[in-house]
Amino acid sequence: MSLAPRAARLASRGLAPKALSHRLARPYASAVTDLTPNISYKAVTHPDSAVPEATKSLIQSQTHYLLNTYARPPLLFTHGKGLKLTDSSGREYLDFTAGIAVTALGHSDEGVNKVMAEQAAKISHASNIYWNEHAGELARLLVENTRQHGGLGLTKEGGSSGGKVFFSNSGTEANEGALKFARKYGKEVGGHKKTGLVCFTNAFHGRSMGALSVTPNPKYQAPFAPLIPDVRVGELNDMDEERLQSLVDENTCGVIVEPIQGEGGVEASKVEWLEMLGRRCREVGAVLIYDEIQCGLFRSGTMWAHSSFPADAQPDIVTMAKPLANGFPIGAIMVRDRIAEVISVGSHGTTFGGQPLATAIGCHVLSRLSEPSFISSLTVTASHLEGLLGRLPKMFPGLLKTDLRGRGLIRGIAFKDEKGPGELVHLARERGVLLLTAGKDAVRLVPALVVSKEQCDHAVAVIESCLSIMQEGGWGKKDKA
Ligand SMILES: Cc1ncc(COP(=O)(O)O)c(C=O)c1O
């Protein structure tokens, strides 16, 4: 193992190398074939308890007025640059959460800042009762890039047939609109009974009444029942033809699924299953909706997680949000022309969606993400990260499941013990690396798409050190599990 001798000596005494005292350590590259965990980062460098008094009292006063909907550590970030976040005491963290798969170009990106400042100085909002300079351009970029990169069943030879876009302000609203469009399309093609919606186990589609109704998690749904009627829940990746026939029937108007689940545990939908689902949707005239809010817009390595899927597995509607304006609120619904035909004036609307500020930023972000040089560098980094993460189940067989989940830069480390993910997130945070949990059993890595190989090396080295701490603490032993 290539651990530097000094770092090893310090680590064995529970001390951090000096460079780690509160700043981010220099990257530590580990050999992808080496199965000895890196233990350089066992010492706590960023204790949650070391919060300045001023921050503590600010948090206390905010708690007084903010609704108690989030469980948060006592961390308050004041600055960000690239993958670095700086807290109120000047400590730097390496951010592998990207604001939950949002800041694709990194925090405080100069290009984004420039577009934001220039557009804000011109006009931010004048409402959808008038035209603006950027909404149509962002819609064009979305449709034509989808045609080039693959997705929504569009082909390069497709000529004028294509898609159309509606802009919202968030992912939930994008799904809400997509479900409404499916209902409207269903009624127009199949009559008033064609209103059924289908979703799948562990899906997450949002928190409004419609989106929540297709998010079959009792923790989120139960307090707010009754939800909207006519929703069925199927098993993700269930290849049984008969069950599919009764799940999606003549009265189904829409089926919603994430090609790679985000919140649900970074579980990928199998392509063969999506083909089967797509064929069944077409058979009964149901709209197939892909929620690519978390996995879309190049996070999976291609523009859409479904970009390279065969024709049968292509959707009728794609929803997106998170990275489209690098953190400025935006969402979008992209529909095939035949769905667009049933959407008329007054069918749907929003005050803010598609406003010039959000869509100007969106044009800039999408142009950058779709540059060939950006995609090829993302591909190289993603495969480097895959190599690093692929070793973990072999290094820690008692702790981790064998499957490495996800694709590109949406990755999941699956634990045998359901308490494991929370523990790893906590240990890594106290060593300056921010991670997310996903579903019941996974830790999720969704760094900015501008992440470097060295930053991947560092994050994984910290993860290895934390998993070593867990292993030494008895995690993964039979009596602990
Ligand atoms: C797949 C998916 N769909 C929908 C949503 C909801 O998006 P928003 O939080 O922007 O409303 C999320 C958010 O995490 C998501 O990951």
Cβ–Cβ under 8 Å, residues 449 and 299: yes
Atom of ligand 1 nearest to the CA of 322: 10
Matching residue, tokens 């067989």: 397
Listed in sequence order, the DSSP H helices in 404-452 are 420-429
Residues with beta carbon inside 6 Å of ligand 1?
100, 170-172, 175, 204-206, 258, 262-263, 291, 293-294, 321
**What is the C-alpha to C-alpha distance for residues 386 and 337, in angstroms, rounded to an integer?**
37
Calculate how far, in angstroms, residue 58's C-alpha sits from the geometric centre of ligand 1.
29
Give the number of C-alpha atoms closer than 13 A to the C-alpha of residue 124, restricted to the C-beta side. Answer: 7
Beta partners for 443?
A: 413, 437
Calculate how far, in angstroms, residue 232's C-alpha sits from the geometric centre of ligand 1.
20
Does residue 197 surpass a pLDDT of 90? yes
Which pLDDT score is estimated for 259?
A: 98
Closest residue by Cα to atom 10, ligand 1, is 171
3-state secondary structure of 130: coil
Matching residue, tokens 């830790």: 443
Q: What is the mean pLDDT of the chain?
A: 93
Closest CA to 197 of 209, 184, 214, 212: 214
Calculate how far, in angstroms, residue 54's C-alpha sits from the geometric centre of ligand 1.
33
Closest CA to 183 of 163, 217, 213, 154: 213
Does residue 33 surpass a pLDDT of 80? no
Calculate how far, in angstroms, residue 207's C-alpha sits from the geometric centre of ligand 1.
8
Between 156 and 219, the higher pLDDT residue:
219
Cβ–Cβ under 8 Å, residues 25 and 458: yes
Atom of ligand 1 nearest to the CA of 206: 6
Q: What's the DSSP call for residue 90?
A: S
Q: Which of 322, 324, 326, 410 to mutate to test the pocket of ligand 1 (most atoms within 8 A of CB)?
A: 322
Please compute the mean of the pLDDT values over residues 80-85 and round it to a whole number. Answer: 98
Please compute the mean of the pLDDT values over residues 117-138 and round it to a whole number. Answer: 98
Cβ–Cβ under 8 Å, residues 297 and 324: yes
**What is the C-alpha to C-alpha distance for residues 95 and 87, in angstroms, rounded to an integer?**
12
Q: Which CATH number, 1.10.10.10, 3.20.20.70, 3.40.640.10, 3.40.50.2300, labels domain 123-370?
A: 3.40.640.10
Q: Which of 205, 292, 446 to mutate to test the pocket of ligand 1 (most atoms within 8 A of CB)?
A: 205
Please compute the mean of the pLDDT values over residues 409-438 and round it to a whole number. Answer: 98
Q: How many residues does the chain have?
A: 481
Per-domain residue ranges of the chain: 5-108+373-472, 123-370
Strand order in the sheet with 442-445: 400-407, 410-415, 442-445, 436-438
Calculate how far, in angstroms, residue 195's C-alpha sits from the geometric centre of ligand 1.
23
Does residue 87 surpass a pLDDT of 70? yes
Which pLDDT score is estimated for 29?
A: 46
pLDDT digit string, tens, across residues 231-253: 999 999 999 999 999 999 999 99
Which pLDDT score is estimated for 396?
A: 98
Which pLDDT score is estimated for 156?
A: 86
Does residue 160 surpass a pLDDT of 80? no
Which pLDDT score is estimated for 31?
A: 56
Between 22 and 216, the higher pLDDT residue:
216
Q: Which of 204, 214, 217 to mutate to test the pocket of ligand 1 (most atoms within 8 A of CB)?
A: 204
Least reliable range by pLDDT among 10-19, 161-170, 218-227: 10-19
Which pLDDT score is estimated for 34?
A: 79
3-state secondary structure of 476: coil
Per-residue pLDDT band at 26 (split at 50, 70, 90): very low
Q: What percentage of the chain reaches a pLDDT higher than 90?
A: 90
CATH 3.30.70.2860 given to domain 5-108+373-472: no
Does residue 145 surpass a pLDDT of 50? yes
**What is the C-alpha to C-alpha distance for residues 307 and 275, in angstroms, rounded to an integer?**
13
Q: What percentage of the chain reaches a pLDDT higher than 70?
A: 92
Tell me the torsion sign for CA atoms 199, 200, 204, 209: positive
Calculate how far, in angstroms, residue 9's C-alpha sits from the geometric centre of ligand 1.
45
Cβ–Cβ under 8 Å, residues 410 and 294: yes
Calculate how far, in angstroms, residue 321's C-alpha sits from the geometric centre of ligand 1.
8
Please compute the mean of the pLDDT values over residues 87-94 and round it to a whole number. Answer: 96
Does residue 18 surpass a pLDDT of 90? no
- The set of residues, in sequence order, having a beta carbon less than 8 Å from that of 306 and lying 6+ positions away, is 150, 151, 259, 274, 290, 292, 313, 314, 315, 318
